[in-house]
A and B are shown apart, each in its own frame.
Chain A
Amino acid sequence: MIFGHAITAQQLFGQLLIGLINGSFYALLSLGLAVIFGMLNIVNFAHGALYMMGAFVAYFLLHELGLNYWWALIGSPLIVGAFGALVERTLLVRLRGLDPLYSLLLTFGLALVIEGLFQNYFGASGKPYAIPPQLAGAHNLGFMFLPNYRAWVIGFSGFVCFATWFLIEKTRVGAYLRAATENPTMTRAFGLNVPRMITLTYGFGVGLAALAGVLAAPINQVRPGMGADIIAVVFAVVVIGGMGSILGAIITGFTLGVVEGLTKVFYPEASNTVVFVIMAVVLLIKPAGLFGKVA
């Protein structure tokens, strides 16, 4: 084997791993967006800001209350999810029945407020968040080193994505949700509390964003700008996958993360733009997205 070739292989697997990690975040975030969109028919522009909030809540839990990573993994999505539910109850609910563009603008303004506040108090620089000791270290797989924490992120987000899909597509709760999406009036007539389902769905979608934030905290630093950086890519992922399907959001998220990683190996100049280029191509061929039903 040629020496140069071996280095390339290591590089390849390294970037593939980073791609899978980013793909996990894309999948969790676009999944949250898809869940919210399905129920509320709005695009949550505050999603990136809430992802950032998730990471910061984990940071506070550790440094202010001494609660470790595992607590944050449960606590942060609950806290941020509750915040999301409050936003839905107090603000978004007033815009029901109006053009969905107004809800979009509201969440956009909300994102500015949240990001501005965090930037005021924490500046633009990042805060380090240590990898939990149980997941420190790495395994030698022969062809590459696999840090345990990264393996955990990929495995755990894959599990959460699957669980969400199962919840929505295969359980009774999911059936109620799908019914309320399909025909809210009829669902209410059957005695289900649709407004409460809407609030909880928004909270759940936001909680998924916060969960992605906690998972990202030990890998990327906790920064006020981390949400704004990722959100445009996540929108492109959603457009590519199409809004219609939960499974589509998950598959597209992971796939595009990997594609981005591979681009970093073969043509690094394009790694920031490749997702957007793919989006343009998909729009030309299939305007509704790969898994979507309507444009």
Chain B
Amino acid sequence: MSANPIVTPAGALPRETRQFAVAFVVMLALIAVAPFVAYPFFVMQALCFALFACAFNLLIGYVGLLSLGHAMFLGAASYVCAHAAKVWGLDPVLAILAGVACSTILGFVAGALSIRSQGIYFAMITVALSQMIFFFCVEAPFTHGEDGIQGVPQGRALGLIDLSQPALLYVFVAVVFLFGFLTVYRAVNSPFGEILKAIRENEPRAISLGYRVQRYKLAAFVLSAALAGLAGATKAIVGQNASLTDVAFAMSGEVVLMTLLGGMGTLYGPVVGAIVVVSMQNYLAQYGQWVTVIQGGVFVACVLMFRRGIVGEIANALKWTSL
């Protein structure tokens, strides 16, 4: 990705690329410093959720499709990766790829079923489909029901890098996250991304211009599912487990909250939102269900008076359009 110079859409000013680059360098610096300031395991989990939120944001932010079932991709990939690493004894990289393959196929099927519907209808269909996957994971023998898959070996990535060493694991997770983040950036700032935005703004017009809108939407949906799967599979290696939490409806809600809070349709918003939400859960864990109440309250507050989200507000204040 870094070898490929950042491509700007036709007519965009290089200034916008520069703004993105400044923010990117800041993010890189923060990722480098974070494990010395915070608990590294916590940072790695936050990065996985940040990638998950970026994948989700690709749909809501750039195509205008609200999926309320994205946990199915995170959870399914997490289970497949954990199973592949533990039972089949695959290399962690191959296990992650197996997880991504699973979520990609699932994304294709779920996308083909839901993409013809719009707005709230689309949201309800994704809820129902992810609930179906949830019940499948409860019943299927290989997921071990309530217990989940525990003790997933971290192994050696590509047979060389020992991921059971925290420092190497951290670098590995950071690289996976950056790969996913730049994939989203590349997709959004490409002709493909421009067409997605055109569909978001005015679908009938995009159709009249001759674009096969359904195919573009499906492609975006599958890409989003694959990246959500990448996040889930990596999370299984980091946490060494896969459980029903990752596939449950509450997880689908959390990723919406992360993206909404950080800023829908901004590149850095989901990352900021994910870190805030994960920290909130971490520090408020002792208060039990109050976390749910607070999350719901943040939801309501965001929707009522803070619709641009954190990064959206900052970008607006700075008049930086490419964050």
Contacts and interface: CB of A to CB of B under 8 A. Distances in A.
A116 B298 CA distance: 13
Contact of B300 (A110, A236, A279): A110
A43 B123 contact: yes
B128 A116 contact: no
B299 interface: yes
B303 interface: yes
Name the interface size band of chain A: 35 or more
A276 B131 contact: yes
Interface string B125-155: 1011101100110110000000000000000
A272 to B, nearest CB: 4
A134 B297 CA distance: 42
Contacts of A276: 128-129, 131-132, 135
Given A232-B127, A232-B128, A295-B118, A112 B296 contact: yes
Interface string A254-282: 00000000000000010011011101100
Interface stretch (B91-99, B266-274, B285-293): B285-293
A273 B297 CA distance: 32
B29 interface: no
A113 B300 CA distance: 9
B119 A100 contact: yes
B123 A104 contact: yes
A101 B119 contact: yes
A262 to B, nearest CB: 18
Contacts of B121: 239, 243, 295
Interface in B77-111: none
A165 interface: no
B294 to A, nearest CB: 8
B113 A108 contact: no
A124 B124 CA distance: 26
Size class of the contact patch on chain B: 35 or more
A112 to B, nearest CB: 3
Contacts of B116: 283, 287, 295
A284 B292 CA distance: 36
Contacts of A91: 300, 304
Contacts of A43: 120, 123-124
A160 interface: no
B66 interface: yes
Nearest to B299: A109
A88 interface: no
Interface string A21-44: 000000000000000010000110
A166 B113 CA distance: 34
Given A109-B303, A269-B139, A239 B124 contact: yes
Interface of A: 37, 42-43, 91, 94-95, 100-102, 104-106, 108-117, 119-120, 228, 232-233, 235-236, 238-239, 243, 269, 272-273, 275-277, 279-280, 283-284, 287, 295
Interface of B: 66, 68, 113-114, 116-121, 123-125, 127-129, 131-132, 135-136, 138-139, 249, 253, 256, 260, 288-293, 295-300, 302-304, 307
11 contacts: A37-B120, A104-B120, A109-B296, A113-B300, A116-B290, A120-B288, A120-B289, A232-B128, A239-B124, A276-B128, A283-B114
10 shortest interchain CB distances as A-B pairs:
A109-B299, A112-B296, A116-B292, A113-B296, A276-B132, A116-B293, A232-B131, A236-B128, A272-B135, A119-B289
